[in-house]
Amino acid sequence: MNDSVPAGPTAPPFRLSMLIYDRRYRSLTFQVIVFILVMSLFWWLVSNTIENLSRLGKDINFGFLFNRAGYDIPQQLIPYTSDDTHLRAAVVGLLNTLLVSVLGCVAATILGVTVGVLRLSRNWLFARLMTIYVETFRNIPLLLWILIIYAILTEITPAPRAYQGEDARQLFLGLIAPTNRYTAIPAFVAERSPGMLHLGRIAIPWLAILYFACLGAAIVIRNRINARAQRIQNQTGKRPVTWWVNLALFVVPPVVIWLAFGLHLDVPELAGFNFKGGINVDNALVALWLALTLYTAAFIAEITRAGILSVSKGQTEAAYSLGLRPNRTMNLVILPQALRVIIPPLISQYLNLTKNSSLAIAVGYMDLRGTLGGTTVNQTGREMEGILLMMLVYLAISLIISGGMNLYNRRVALKER
Amino acid sequence: MKTSVFLGVVAASGLIAGAGLAAEGDTLATVKSRGELLCGVNPGLVGFASPDANGNWTGFDVALCKAVAAAVLGDPTKVKYVPLTGQTRFTGLASGEVDMLSRNSTWTFSRDTDLKLDFAGVNYYDGQGFMVPKSLGVSSAKELDGATICIQTGTTTELNLADYFKANNMSYQPVNIDSNAEGEQQYMAGACDAYTTDASGLAATRAAFANPDQHVILPEIISKEPLGPMVRHGDNNWGDIVRWTLYALIAAEEYGVTSANIEELSKSSENPEVQRMLGTTDDLGAMMGLDKEWAKRAIMAGGNYGEIFAATIGEQTPIGLARGLNAQWTQGGLMYAMPFR
């Protein structure tokens, strides 16, 4: 505070040049100028858009969302027919986007962490192979990977008809039929089904709710048991054996549900042109999922490797000298410190994967870009509204993901007290 | 200083935006000053619009682009072809990326009204059909219950397909594709049992196969697909130019004016309608900002409607389409040019 403000009546009168030459006002002046610049640019964009639209005789109107869509969607997680509205078609697309994003994030994390650790392995062959994998996948554009995998799936797998007749192909393990359109996989079907929970127009099977409730409860109980084991270990130095309780928590409830409701596998069977029964997983989804996973995993592998390398070797040696076994060293010493380095860039990768899933259009996977931003926009001519909505939705998804991951990051971050 | 630069930028961009808008209102002036017609075409549909090995575009839809360029600019080669997919075509036209669309697009109510585009006429009356491999043993579209069907997304065919299967109480699994080329690849790989699009498009696609006789086009035509050139709504004069260029081609066939005899007929024809059209007597072109011989040049570019049809998609070509509905009204077809008067 060396530029203390002179007090009261002796203060010099305000002159216009003070806006630039007086430090007290200068920063404010420039902030106001930049603010006006940005707002003018924004205003120009908006008014230009509205002006151009009105010259074309168009307005901005979201009413089209409630009109009949009229087109079909190959893969849907909630019931949808061509009689439903464009809004519902958009939701179907959104769920397809979320499906492939979640599947991709989970698989990419598992694969990426494995590859990252293996790349640090002392096994020469493994380390080199992983290097080749990482460099190949992260240096070729994702779109090409999607197209290549889709083309391979279409060209090398047989048509459903190949499973028919005398020289029929056998189903893989008697359960799975890869075809050039989709992979037919068995589904769980309950003999005594408790039905669906109807929330408006969305129906959720009670069985799924029950299963996830059991899973959630199991996780909570496991945390309690582990905390208790930790307490006992801290007091007595001996850790009670808990693994069988943990295992039972996750195995017993599903088995009970299984027996109680007579769950069985519905194996796909060829009927007419296509497989009936079970679930037909579109090749477009498989191609997109595989490509997103392989591509993003290459980046995650590098992030993991960087994280592990950031923990100095002395820590490992110190842990060994205290008598910790290698896996305990990894879990208790290296990973907690490495995660601090890993999580922030990992969030970016999750966001990238989610946004990259909009490349689905290349293989006709009907995600949000395919329904709302594709067919709906095309059939209604509401480009501006469709693209705006799509931007908003992707923004919301990204903010939710980064918000959630930031919460997790705060948990693993260095606690500074 | 900073502020004045900014104001300058704002003023300049305003001018540019204003100029762009003014030009957009008068397509004829824009095309003339550019010296080139921007024509939106199918990215690849043999017979209708496809580039050859040297990058020269040919086809039934391309011929209309050439005729319009000949009428407006006096040179049928002064066309820049902009390939647009089913998804990008209307946005491309509305945003001014192309001056006209000559790309087998179906004339429907909502496209004419809600999309703020105008159809300048119909150059091919079509209907939606299905193509299946012979080995499938299917002889009617009614037997396609449960089939996987390749469909171009963003088209009327996509909506017709949904309606047709619903009306017949059948189910199907759509495979969405973005262009005809991709559809061809998916269909040939067996990723779909049937491929559906306009019957003319099916014939054109089949003609490009290695063994076309292995595939059949099913007899059912499930919709009306009047295909025609499109322009932006609001520029009526430009719409008139495209419309009457098309009518000139159709009328020329009706009156027996061909690319071979047009020079002779323009001097010696006794038919007053032909005289008016070719600019021998009246000056019809001036009424829409063109010169006297606009129609003559349009017809000379690729011949009359019948000549274009025969050379690109007719029975003598590999595509082998019969005139059918597209014959002259005097031959029992629907091709009917309004009077040149």
Domains of chain B: 26-125+226-331 (3.40.190.10), 128-223 (3.40.190.10)
Mutation test of the interface with chain B: which of A16, A49, A56, choosing the one with the most B Cβ atoms within 10 A? Answer: A56
pLDDT at residue B297 greater than cutoff 60 = yes
CB contact under 8 A, B192 and A181: yes
| Interchain proximity B154–A51, CB inside 8 Å | no
Residue of chain A minimizing CA distance to B151: A364
**List of chain A residues whose C-beta atoms are within 8 Å of the C-beta of residue B144:** 273
pLDDT digits (tens, 9 = 90+) for B299-317: 999 999 999 999 999 989 9
**Total residue count of chain B as it appears in this document:** 341
Closest approach of A410 to chain B, Cα-based (Å): 43
Structure confidence by residue, pLDDT tens digits, B128-165: 999 999 988 888 999 998 889 999 887 888 899 999 99
Question: What backbone torsions phi and psi does residue B123 show, to the nearest 5 degrees?
Answer: -105, -5
Distance between CA atoms of residues A158 and A179, nearest Å: 5
pTM for the model stands at 0.79
Closest-CA distance of chain B to residue A413, Å: 44
A366 reaches B (C-beta below 8 A) = yes
Cβ count near B234 (within 10 Å)? 16
Residue among B10, B145, B190 whose CB faces A44 most closely: B10
Q: Kindly give, in sequence order, each residue whose CB lies less than 8 Å from that of residue A269, ignoring residues fewer than 6 positions away.
A: A275, A276, A277
Mutate: best of A273, A280, A282, partner B, most B CBs <10 A? A273
- Residues from chain B contacting residue A51 (CB–CB below 8 Å): 21
The pLDDT value given to residue A8? 55
What mean pLDDT, rounded, does chain B reach? 88
The pLDDT value recorded for residue A17 is 81
Q: Which of B3, B116, B146 shows the shortest C-beta gap to A273?
A: B146
Taking alpha carbons only, the member of A254, A277, A106, A272 closest to residue A185 is A277
* Parts of chain A with a pLDDT under 70: 1-11, 165-171, 173, 192-194, 200-202, 416-417
Q: How far apart are CA A327 and CA A334, in angstroms?
A: 10
Report whether B181 contacts B164 (CB < 8 A): no
Contact check, Cβ <8 Å, A378/B153? yes
CB atoms B174 and A74 under 8 Å: yes
Which positions in chain B touch A82 (Cβ < 8 Å)? 159, 162-163, 166
pLDDT for position B341:
86
How many residue pairs bridge chain A and chain B with CB atoms within 8 Å of each other? Answer: 111
| Token pair recorded at residue A110 | 């598992």
B71, B59, B58: which is closest to B99 by C-alpha? Answer: B71
Q: Which of B175, B231, B233 to mutate to test the interface with A (most CBs of A within 10 A)?
A: B175
- B263 to chain A, closest Cα gap in Å: 41
- Assembly ipTM: 0.73
Task: Tell me whether strands B215-217 and B147-152 are parallel, antiparallel or unpaired.
Answer: unpaired
Helices (H), A195-311: 206-236, 243-261, 283-309
Task: Say if residues A191 and A264 touch (Cβ distance below 8 Å).
Answer: yes
- Per the structure block, which two tokens stand in for A243? 């693994």
- Residue A322: predicted pLDDT: 92
**CA–CA separation, A175 and A156 (whole Å):** 19
| Block residue for tokens 């698989």 | A107
* In the predicted structure, residue B90 carries a pLDDT above the cut 60: yes
Confidence band (pLDDT; 50, 70, 90) for B234?
Answer: confident
Chain A residue whose CA is closest to B137: A273
Higher pLDDT, B222 or A209: B222
Q: Which chain A residues have a beta carbon less than 8 Å from that of B232?
A: 56
Residue positions counted in chain A: 417
- Orientation angle between helical segments B236-254 and B294-302, nearest 10 degrees: 60
What pLDDT band is residue B2 in, cutting at 50, 70 and 90?
very low
Q: What is the pLDDT of residues A305-342, one digit of tens each?
A: 999 999 988 998 999 999 998 888 888 888 888 888 89
Q: Which of B13, B86, B94 sits opposite A56 (nearest CB)?
A: B94
What share of chain B in percent tops pLDDT 70?
93
DSSP state of B255: T
| Residue B14 binned pLDDT confidence (cut-offs 50, 70, 90) | very low
Find out whether B139 and B132 touch, Cβ atoms under 8 Å: no
Contact B189 A154 (CB under 8 A): yes
Best of B27, B103, B153 to substitute, by most chain A Cβ atoms within 10 angstroms, is B153
What integer pLDDT is reported at residue B15 of this predicted model? Answer: 43
**Partner residue facing B148 (CB), from A82, A155, A273:** A273
Q: How many Å apart are CA A290 and CA A298, to the nearest integer?
A: 12
Distance from CA of B327 to the nearest CA of A (A): 31
Which residues make beta-bridge pairs with A184? Answer: A177, A280
**Taking CB atoms and an 8 Å limit, are B10 and A374 in contact across chains?**
no
- Determine whether the interchain pair B158/A375 forms a contact, defined as Cβ–Cβ distance below 8 Å: yes
Distance from CA of A195 to the nearest CA of B (A): 24
CA-based nearest residue to B203, from B223, B180, B230: B180
**Facing residue for A381 by CB, picked from B14, B90, B173:** B90
The verdict on A61 touching B (C-beta cutoff 8 Å) is: no
DSSP alpha helices (H): ranges in chain B? 2-25, 27-34, 60-73, 89-94, 109-113, 156-167, 180-188, 199-207, 236-254, 262-268, 272-278, 294-302, 305-312
Residues B33-42 have pLDDT tens digits of: 999 999 999 9
Residue B10 binned pLDDT confidence (cut-offs 50, 70, 90): very low
pLDDT for residue B1 is more than 50: no
Interchain CB distance below 8 Å, B146 and A274: yes
| pLDDT confidence of residue B242 | 96
Q: What average pLDDT does this structure show over B261-283?
A: 89
